[in-house]
Amino acid sequence: MVRIIIFLTVCACFFCAGPLHADVRDDLQGVAKQIKEKKLLLKKTRKVETQVSSELTQIEKNLHEKESNLVSLGRDLKGVETVLGRTQREIEVARGEAERKRDQIRRRLVALYKTGEMGSARMFFGAESLPQMVEGQRYMQAVLERDKRLFAEYNQKIDQLRLLKIRLEGDVARKEKIKASIEVKKHEIEEEKNKKAEYLTKVREEKKSYQTSIKELEANARRLQSMVERLEARSRKSYTAKKDKTGIGSGPPLPLIPDKGFGAQKGRLHMPVKGEIVEGYGRHKHPEFNSYTVSNGVSIAAPTGADIHAVFDGQIIFADYFKGYGNMVIVDHGGGFFSLYAHTSRIMKRVGTTVSRNEVLASVGDVDSSRGSMLYFEIRYQGKPIDPTPWIR
């Protein structure tokens, strides 16, 4: 597996046989700083969430008011429709009365036509006495007055009908306006609810992302702290042993000296898993981007679930998840030698367990792997990576 040139210093420090490197603490402080920043972001997000929730509460209140307005508008609409019905009935009544008056006037006009202009003269000459003539004039006067009232009532009904029609048109316009207002209110309600709900969802997703990130950072910080404590203990033990033996402090890293332990196994180790090496140790040029990367180990393609074996006797000093490497196991073989096994699907051993050559440590997986199912394998001596290829037969 290809590693970026700026490799995680903490991983290098897992293999330090000498005093604790200062970069480990720097990395631990860096993680602590990231946790602090994420917590500040989380605090701000919670504040925004509270604010948005408060706004949503106010929106709900406004929605209730708007819904009450809708109910009121509905009542108004119903009232207008009732008035419209009543007005239409009044129009029908007025129209009927006007038609009756029109018929009466038509009959009167027909009667007058038949009587002709000589009607009054005929009444005068047809009277047998003065009283009879006076009575005839009074009758004619009453007929004329009745005709005048008939025409006046007809015109009144026509005016009433016209006013009712105007009122009806106004009520219809008001009804349409109320209906339009109801639709506008409904649209405002839905739009406001959707807008705030989407915003709240976004804020909660950011909050969840920050919480997840903080958990990962805190988990890495705990692992780093555990490493710091174990490395400090090893450094104190190594320093005391050297001081007792030589009387001097620790010097520069020692050259590779074959011995009866791991140092004597060059060319004799078995592959930790059966598979094909798809990425070798060292510097590599990217075929497309003309950039270089460095691999501190080798990547071995293997089927998921295949057994991963310890290449030599040793003690487990790390067996847990580490971001970027997935589930990872580190074995201390003594003499300054360490081996690393990453991207496993399942870890079989615990920290502190002593293992033998070819003992199963874990299973092949693809946790945090960009190449699918594979094993990333390293060998380190005094904290520095060395090419594992010459060590494997």
Task: Give pLDDT tens digits for 225-237.
Answer: 666 566 556 555 5
Q: Does residue 135 register a pLDDT over 70?
A: yes
Output 339 or 232, whichever has higher pLDDT.
339
Q: Does residue 361 register a pLDDT over 60?
A: yes
Question: What three-state secondary structure class fits 184?
Answer: helix
pLDDT at 145: 81
Task: Give the tens place of pLDDT for each residue, 138-174.
Answer: 776 777 787 778 778 878 878 887 888 888 888 888 8
Residue 161 in tokens: 């009908």
Average pLDDT over residues 69-84: 79
Strand partners, 339: 331, 379
**Secondary element (H or E) of residue 295:** strand 292-295
Return the DSSP state at 321.
E
Q: Does residue 330 register a pLDDT over 90?
A: yes
Query: How far lies 6's CA from each of 9, 11, 249, 315, in Å?
Result: 8, 11, 30, 28
pLDDT at 74: 80
Q: What are phi and psi of 200, to 5 degrees?
A: -65, -40
What does the alpha-carbon distance between residue 17 and residue 332 come to, in Å, rounded to a whole number?
10
pLDDT at 121: 55
Whether 300 and 275 have beta carbons less than 8 Å apart is answered as: yes
pLDDT at 101: 72
Q: Which amino acid is at 95?
A: R
What does the alpha-carbon distance between residue 230 and residue 352 come to, in Å, rounded to a whole number?
11
Range in 106-110, 282-286, 346-350 the model is least confident about: 106-110
Task: Give me Rg for the CA atoms of the chain.
Answer: 51
In sequence order, which residues have a C-beta less than 8 Å from that of residue 300 and are 6 or more positions away? 271, 272, 273, 275, 276, 277, 278, 374, 375, 376, 377
What does the alpha-carbon distance between residue 245 and residue 303 come to, in Å, rounded to a whole number?
48
Range in 78-87, 113-122, 360-369 the model is least confident about: 113-122
pLDDT at 224: 65
- For 190, what's the count of Cα atoms within 13 Å in the CB-facing half-sphere? 6
Residue 126 in tokens: 């047809």
Question: What three-state secondary structure class fits 1?
Answer: coil
pLDDT at 183: 84
Mean pLDDT of the chain, nearest integer: 76
pTM of this structure: 0.43
Residue 159 in tokens: 């005016």
What does the alpha-carbon distance between residue 222 and residue 228 come to, in Å, rounded to a whole number?
10
What does the alpha-carbon distance between residue 376 and residue 297 come to, in Å, rounded to a whole number?
7
Output 259 or 147, whichever has higher pLDDT.
147
pLDDT at 125: 55
Range in 5-9, 118-122, 138-142, 260-264 the model is least confident about: 5-9
Output the DSSP codes for 248-274.
S---SPPPP---SSGGG-TTTBPPSSS
